Structure 1
Amino acid sequence: MPSLSPYADPAAILITGASSGLGAAMAQGYARVGVTLFLTGRDESRLAKVAQDCRERGADVSAETLDVTDSDALAAWIEACDRRRPLDLVIANAGISAGTADGTEGVDQTRAIFAVNLNGVVNTVMPAVAVMRPRRRGQIAIMSSMAGFRGIGGAPAYCASKAAVRVWGEALRGALASDGLAVSVICPGFVATPMTDVNRFTMPLLMEADAAARLIRRKLATNTGRIAFPWPMAALSWIAAALPDALADRLTRRLPAKG
């Protein structure tokens, strides 16, 4: 019996940041006969491996090495993908974090994080909206983070970039609903990816990328507006966002750098 949800079985899916981590896991999860995947990432060799794995699962795959901060190149690629097969789902997943410079993000790191995590999402979403809006159908997913609910002293730019895209995505959901477009914001906790592999602290409720990707796919299929997981960490993040400043400062201030 066919699904009643128009979002349950997307046939043409575009994913940025697909060369590793959650992007790769989502691409592999969606890959099957009848599905066309448009994948982009910055690492050509890793992207090629993900693309080949998806082809072996039966998907038609087009992979392009792009930098999401290049707005013109990204827009041209998204438009070309849509001409090849009208996009059902666009996942703005590409994102970076950074190591620390003297215990905090340096100026160059800060600019790079905003360029990818904020501008890169805008550079992905706006061309997607432009091609989807005339036909009044399509779904857009924006990758935010639990870190977007309350700033943490060790990663101010990362937290701020994820907060910006979360709020923007939530607003877009309402703004684009009358155009027939669905927007979801994804707020994961800790997921085992190359990005988190560099962390030198305990990561509570760490999830494997495949498990996180399965959860995201289930929630996107039902057009869930905010996909925040795992739920205990989501609850703690919501509480942290409501704490008085004096208490929040003690809990979120940067820990001393360790050798």
Structure 2
Amino acid sequence: MAEMSYRTALVTGASSGLGRGLALWLAKRGLRVFAGGRRMPQLQALAAEAQAAGATVEPVEMDVTQVEATRERLLALDSECGGLDLVIANAGVGGVTHGRRMEWDPVRAIIDTNVTGAAATLTAVLPLMVERRRGHLVGISSLAAHRGLAGHAAYSASKAFLATFLESLRVDLSSTGVRVTCVFPGFVKSEMTANNAFPMPFLMETDAAVELMGAGILRGETELSFPWQLALPSRLAKVLPNPIFDAAARRLR
């Protein structure tokens, strides 16, 4: 695929963590970045930090679970900026959804954000990208997508949905000029992982993860998985027979 020059980008979930880091990283490389999120004070602080570095980040208050409003906002931004080149569906939530203590509210919250919100974000301006024959869709999945993690049924399933959704889009969009990238991070220091009560092997610093992601996205990689020490066994786990995987998962739990 021919190299693409990026002028504009939208990043959801940009008020903290990987989203915030990616928005700033892209802005420092000359992109006009729209930083989407629910917490306007954090987005305004991000914009000020970018401005101090001579970069442009524009705060956009949005809640991806409000699907119609999200899609309308993306279409308006696309029209206003002359076309979004890069759309990164990063907004996501986690939480325990254990089969023995299952409650609907946390399951619904994860699906509303990680599945419905991500799909709405990725598809809002896709027809316009196809028409322009340029654009790049990025979804932040997780290494947890490869197998169902004990106690995290909704989260693992939501990230598996996003990975499969993006894979189908990648196949459909071949030869259209629109790129598709799926990112599979492991454990990264963030607000979401700060309260985890379980071990997090190979926990990465946010800046290191952002650098890997940003560089891979601009190269047009179709998939990015990190850190390798966790990505490799996660992928191998996909081919384990269920009895072996189940026994290992129970021990980890």
Q: TM-score if structure 2 supplies the norm length?
A: 0.93
Structure 2 unmatched ranges of 5 or more:
none
CA root-mean-square deviation: 2.0
8 A contact 1:96–1:117 mirrored in 2 = yes
Structure 1 unmatched ranges of 5 or more:
none
Give 1:241's match in structure 2, choosing from 213, 238, 242. Answer: 238
> Displacement of 1:252 after TM fit?
1.8
Distance 2:252 2:237 in 1: 17
Q: Does 1:55 align with 2:48?
A: no
Q: Which residue of 2 aligns with 1:209?
A: 206
Within a 5 Å distance, the mapping from 1:1-259 to structure 2 comes to 6-7=3-4, 9-32=5-28, 34-85=30-81, 86-99=83-96, 106-253=103-250
Which protein, 1 or 2, shows the higher relative CO under an 8 Å CA cutoff with sep ≥ 6? 1
8 A contact 1:154–1:255 mirrored in 2 = no
8 A contact 1:142–1:184 mirrored in 2 = yes
Distance 2:213 2:102 in 1: 29
Distance 1:178 1:44 in 2: 38
CA deviation map 1:158-178 (0-9, x unaligned): 000000100111111111122
* Matching residue's letter, 1:126: T
> Displacement of 1:104 after TM fit?
5.1
* Matching residue's letter, 1:29: W
Q: TM-score if structure 1 supplies the norm length?
A: 0.91
Please state whether the residue corresponding to 2:78 is helix, strand or coil: helix
> Displacement of 1:213 after TM fit?
0.7
Pick closer, same or farther for the CA change 1:105–1:229 going to 2, 3 Å.
farther
Paired residues in the alignment total 252
8 A contact 1:37–1:60 mirrored in 2 = yes
> Displacement of 1:57 after TM fit?
2.0
> Displacement of 1:75 after TM fit?
1.1
